[in-house]
Amino acid sequence: MKHPFPFSAIVGQDEMKQAMILTAIDPSIGGVLVFGERGTGKSTAVRALAGLLPPIRVVKDCPVHCARPEDCPDWAVLDDISTHDIPTPVVDLPLGASEDRVTGALDIEKALSKGEKAFQPGLFAQANRGYLYIDEVNLLEDHIVDLLLDVAQSGENVVEREGLSIRHPARFVLVGSGNPEEGELRPQLLDRFGLSVDVTSPTDIEERVQVIKRRDAYENDHSAFMLRWQAEDAALRDRIVTARQTLADLKTPDAALRVVAELCINLGSDGLRGELTLLKAARAYAAFRDDTVLTRMHIRATAALALLHRLRRDPLDEAGSGARVERIVQETLDA
Amino acid sequence: MTPWERATLALKLLSIDPQRLGGMVVRARVGPARDALLGTMDAIEMPCVRLHPHMGTQVLDGEVDLSATLSGGTLVRQRGLLDRPPSLFILPMAERAEPALSARLGQALDAGHSHALLALDEGSEEGETVPLALQDRTAFHVALDGIAMSDLAPIDLPQDTVALRRLARAVHVPDDILEDMVMLANAVGITSLRAPGFTLNAAQCHAALHGRDVVEQSDVSAAVALIYAHRATKLPDQPEDQTQPPEKPPDAPDDPAQTAQPNDILLDAITAALPPDALVDLSTRGPRRATGSGSGARRTGNRRGRPLPARQGPNANAARVDLIATLRAAIPWQTLRKRADPARNGPIFRQSDLRKKRYDALSDRLLIFTVDASGSAAMSRLAEAKGAVELMLAQAYARRDHVALVSYRGNAAEVLLSPTRSLVQTKRRLAAIPGGGATPLASGLAAAMDLAQTAAQKGLTPTVILLADGRANIARDGSADRALAHADATKLATKIAAARCDALVIDTTNRPEKTLRQLAQHMAAKYIPLPRADAKRVSGAISASLAE
């Protein structure tokens, strides 16, 4: 298996990259939804993200990657409770996945061959403390979406079936990508994503040529290409780690809070979730830039990412909310 | 280049570097041409694996072999097809591939570029095509229909493909040629960046095939003709079709892609490769049908819905095992089986004990709006009808129904929108319906019925909603003969009733029209006269009668 395409080598698509970096700095922002046409590098970016994330420290035998032995779920069989570092898990949720596979279910092998009642963890367990990636998220079967909605909100996976009563932590950053032409996303699921990005194919010829060239180099001259870009990825990873530390000391003046609230009211976004996400995203952005105080500039830069998909949308409206957000952001921040 | 030469060239290039080129879509019914093409596939130096469009993704990814596990008492895993060494997957009846399968295959083609795909598209209808996710990831698309036996020439694939592949990957591509390729893709409205990537690789293969180590104009022309022709969404000198999906920002005119002129030679190559009716196709090509969850849902699936009694199943691997029912089936035999095999602990299971879960799922509904856009309607009620459909769309959105749009005017009907859930597309199409001309009611009904039947085969429940204004005056053959037109419409109405397709006739004439009431009776449809109605009333009437 080849290394995935390096994150820093992705040409353009700055908004998408930005959004992903912000969730890496503060996972509680709650994930990214990337919507756009085919062949714009959506899945390339998500796969590249895995190489960018700092490792996490986990208990060796813990099926849900807990940091400390006392956090591990009681049903897990722990033979080895020493800790070690693993890469941040980025788990794929395939479209055709069965409910059992996603939530985990009775371990059929053990049940039938040994007569034991044991739990086989599913994708939610694997994705704990990491990322859960759904390609073509708008084509996901409704019953899987239902499972996802609940878990993404509560951070806990509850399995009550076939005589099992199991719960375990399932906190993950949800990353979805899809092509809006193929179907819409249920508004409830839309809500679960912290940030959303619309990607379009670059229209600049130079940029497009650059994409083709880099792809060609990645395939033909793999090791040299990786050597060149992995260094940049490492630098970016260091920035993310530093930003995580800066984030704790970042000052949030009341004036900034007021601007955020005002912005959300003016836009008429549903609920307080938008406000909270915008605040977190803006703070993460400030930390990434190594600033010490949250200012209007940070809010302006992240407003569209955090709010675009939260506006009460007429289902027949031609998705023209981008311009509206831009206008209101302009008005509110310049007031 | 004849279609057969085109196919031959595509196959030659593919045989050189199947992994980089991703594969090929072959659109053809079973026939000598397809057989001849497939017969040469053995020459490709990759193991071939046949798939089936209804295969579950667990076959691709591997899973626990339940029956072997049970009889052996230890965990036996089946290796998934995707875990095999790089192979050429052959997907027959690719137009029937389920979204989950095509998405998984697409991911596999993306990851590491080790597998290749040959999708055999046997679709007969306009809308029945290979899922776009797969079309985008395979370089070539060849159509073999209409090739006569006499056109078939033997294909001699290059012998030493391994050496050629090595050569091809080292072929140099000058920067200006690369720029031409990218610019042309932009000019013909190809947004996906995979296409220029494929073109680069195909041009390299073409150059290697002709013993060159630098890509020349002719290589690019050949590659462009094979790769861009079927992806093009517009011709460069055409204004951007307003119904095309990509939304260009308003400041687009300044960007170099629009002003820069693509290389004319390349453009000629691609125009020559476009089928003669391509332009018609381009202007009417709707967004392809949505493949959202549920559009293919069998009525009795084994994944979701209301539980049905468990069944003994030969293919228990693909389904969820109903443990309780399985245990219940196995328990009576335990004493007997223990006697035969006293050393074993725990209950002893045989394959025959396995019971799989079944569910009864409601299939999704498809609303086919058939709108009269003739002159009389345009004068009075077309705007109202459009408004009503829009209101209905908002409700369809809430209920997650699929919608399709057919309009009839002049001397033919037109499917403006194949079944989709994308409301934005529907609304755009709807707003763009032009009015005027005669009333070919029969053609409208025929188009609606075709859609209904295709949809029913896919597991949707179609409902035809006819918004008619006045009686038919154009027959199906296009002649302006009122009596014949009336007879045609009646005939089709009876057919719709015979197909047991739900229907609704909304009469939007100023005074209720007797012939329309009769037509509704023939269709076994509910008849709703709406003299001087507004959009809200039309929509209200529809939802009231659908709710019954």
How many CB atoms sit inside 10 A of residue B340's CB?
9
The answer to whether the beta carbons of residues A310 and A191 sit under 8 Å apart is yes
The answer to whether the beta carbons of residues B375 and B435 sit under 8 Å apart is yes
Same-domain check for residues B533 and B416 = yes
Give the angle A166-A168-A173 at the CA atoms, nearest 5°: 140
Q: Do A184 and B423 touch (CB under 8 A)?
A: yes
Q: Do B303 and A98 touch (CB under 8 A)?
A: yes
pLDDT at B252: 36
Nearest alpha-carbon partner for B467 in B365, B521, B364, B387: B387
Residues of B in contact with A202 (CB under 8 A): 193
Same-domain check for residues B38 and B59 = yes
Same-domain check for residues B219 and B140 = no
| Structure-token pair, residue B519 | 């037509």
In a domain, B291, yes or no: no
A315 phi/psi in degrees, rounded to 5: -60, -20
In a domain, B288, yes or no: no
pLDDT in tens, B349-380: 877 777 777 766 666 788 888 888 887 765 56
Give the nearest chain A residue to B138 (CA atoms). Answer: A39
The Cα–Cα gap between B45 and B23 comes to 13
Query: Of B138, B162, B186, which one is at a domain's C-terminal end?
Result: B162
pLDDT at B287: 33
> How far does A97 lie from chain B, in Å, by closest CA?
8
Same-domain check for residues A258 and A186 = no
Which residues 2-61 of A have a C-beta within 8 angstroms of B? Answer: 2, 37-41, 43, 47
Same-domain check for residues A280 and A183 = no
Same-domain check for residues A151 and A76 = yes
Q: Does A111 touch chain B (CB under 8 A)?
A: yes
ipTM metric: 0.72
Same-domain check for residues B373 and B348 = no
> How far does A292 lie from chain B, in Å, by closest CA?
35
Give the count of domains, chain A. 2
pLDDT band with cut points at 50, 70 and 90 for residue B424: confident
Q: Do A143 and B196 touch (CB under 8 A)?
A: no
pLDDT at A199: 86
Give the nearest chain B residue to A217 (CA atoms). Answer: B169
Same-domain check for residues A20 and A150 = yes
In a domain, A247, yes or no: no
A273 tagged catalytic: yes
pLDDT at B459: 73
b (16+ CB within 10 A) / e for B20-54: bbbbbbbbbeeeebbebbbebbeebebeeeebebe
Same-domain check for residues B244 and B133 = no
Nearest alpha-carbon partner for B202 in B44, B5, B9: B9
Of A38, A182, A315, the CB nearest to B290: A182
Q: Do A109 and B427 touch (CB under 8 A)?
A: no
Residue with tokens 């977190």: A280
The percentage of chain B sitting over the pLDDT mark of 70, rounded to a whole number, equals: 76
Which residues 245-304 of A have a C-beta within 8 angstroms of B? Answer: none
Q: What pTM does this model have?
A: 0.67
Of A111, A138, A316, the CB nearest to B323: A111
> How far does B230 lie from chain A, in Å, by closest CA?
15
Does pLDDT of B317 surpass 70?
no
Instruction: Identify the active-site residue in A186, A208, A214, A273.
Output: A273
* Number of alpha carbons in the 13 Å side-chain half-sphere of residue B422: 22
- Dihedral of the CA atoms A320, A325, A330, A331 (nearest 10)? 100
Does pLDDT of B412 surpass 60?
yes
In a domain, A241, yes or no: no
Q: Specify the range with the lowest mean pLDDT, choosing from A90-104, B3-17, B443-457.
A: A90-104
The answer to whether the beta carbons of residues B484 and B506 sit under 8 Å apart is no
Same-domain check for residues A176 and A322 = no
Range of the domain at B332: 300-360
| CATH number where B423 lies | 3.40.50.410
Residues of B in contact with A38 (CB under 8 A): 132-133, 136, 191-192, 194
Same-domain check for residues B90 and B24 = yes
The Cα–Cα gap between A24 and A90 comes to 12
Residues of A in contact with B104 (CB under 8 A): 94-96
Which three-class secondary structure state does DSSP give residue B418? strand
Same-domain check for residues A164 and A271 = no
Query: Of B231, B256, B283, which one is at a domain's C-terminal end?
Result: B283
| DSSP letter for each residue of A264-330 | HHHHTBSTTHHHHHHHHHHHHHHHHTT-SB--HHHHHHHHHHHHGGGB---TTS-STHHHHHHHHHH
The answer to whether the beta carbons of residues B21 and B202 sit under 8 Å apart is yes
In a domain, B289, yes or no: no
Same-domain check for residues A190 and A260 = no
For helices A296-307 and A14-25, angle between their N-to-C axes, nearest 10 degrees: 100
Burial-class residue A287 by CB neighbours within 10 Å (0-12, 13-18, 19+).
buried
Nearest alpha-carbon partner for B462 in B407, B516, B401, B415: B401
pLDDT at B316: 46
Query: Of B123, B145, B162, which one is at a domain's C-terminal end?
Result: B162
Residues of B in contact with A114 (CB under 8 A): 345-346
Same-domain check for residues B130 and B254 = no
Same-domain check for residues B75 and B108 = yes
Residues of A in contact with B195 (CB under 8 A): 39
* C-alpha dihedral sign at B212, B217, B218, B219: positive
In a domain, A116, yes or no: yes
Does pLDDT of B247 surpass 50?
no
Q: Do A38 and B133 touch (CB under 8 A)?
A: yes
Query: Of A165, A183, A199, which one is at a domain's C-terminal end?
Result: A199
The Cα–Cα gap between B122 and B128 comes to 8
Same-domain check for residues A26 and A168 = yes
In a domain, A237, yes or no: no
| CATH number where A127 lies | 3.40.50.300
| CATH number where B78 lies | 3.40.50.300
Q: Specify the range with the lowest mean pLDDT, choosing from A46-55, B207-216, B327-336, B456-465.
A: B327-336
pLDDT in tens, B141-161: 888 877 777 777 777 778 788
Cα distances (angstroms) measured from residue A69 to each of A57, A125, A128, A169, B138? 11, 16, 15, 14, 48
Count chain A–chain B contacts defined by CB atoms under 8 A.
189
The answer to whether the beta carbons of residues B23 and B14 sit under 8 Å apart is yes
Same-domain check for residues A167 and A278 = no
Same-domain check for residues B351 and B370 = no
pLDDT at B52: 82
How many CB atoms sit inside 10 A of residue A273's CB?
16
Does pLDDT of B168 surpass 90?
no
Give the count of domains, chain B. 4
pLDDT at B238: 45
Same-domain check for residues A58 and A149 = yes
In a domain, A216, yes or no: no
Q: Do B293 and A140 touch (CB under 8 A)?
A: yes
In a mutational test of the A interface, the residue from B102, B109, B193 whose CB has the highest number of chain A CBs within 10 Å is B193
pLDDT at A239: 92
| CATH number where A308 lies | 1.10.8.80
Does pLDDT of B546 surpass 90?
no
Query: Of A199, A217, A245, which one is at a domain's C-terminal end?
Result: A199
Amino acid occupying residue B502: D
b (16+ CB within 10 A) / e for B351-389: eebbbbbbbebebbbbbbbbbbbbbbbbebbbebbbbbb
pLDDT band with cut points at 50, 70 and 90 for residue A140: confident
In a domain, A84, yes or no: yes
Q: Does A320 touch chain B (CB under 8 A)?
A: no
Which three-class secondary structure state does DSSP give residue B408? strand
In a domain, B50, yes or no: yes
Same-domain check for residues B305 and B452 = no
In a domain, A147, yes or no: yes
Same-domain check for residues B520 and B372 = yes
Of A39, A141, A318, the CB nearest to B136: A39
| CATH number where B264 lies | 1.10.8.80
pLDDT band with cut points at 50, 70 and 90 for residue B285: very low
The Cα–Cα gap between B301 and B319 comes to 9
Which residues 138-177 of A have a C-beta within 8 angstroms of B? Answer: 138-143, 145, 162
Does pLDDT of B509 surpass 80?
no
Which residues 190-219 of A have a C-beta within 8 angstroms of B? Answer: 200-206, 208-209, 211-213, 215-216, 219
> How far does B295 lie from chain A, in Å, by closest CA?
10
Q: Do A211 and B193 touch (CB under 8 A)?
A: yes
Give the largest Cα separation in chain B, rounded.
87
Range of the domain at A311: 254-334
State mean pLDDT over A252-257: 88
In a domain, B294, yes or no: no
pLDDT band with cut points at 50, 70 and 90 for residue A275: confident
Residues of B in contact with A190 (CB under 8 A): none
Residues of A in contact with B181 (CB under 8 A): 212
pLDDT in tens, A209-229: 888 888 888 888 888 888 888
| Structure-token pair, residue B404 | 């399709």
Same-domain check for residues B315 and B419 = no
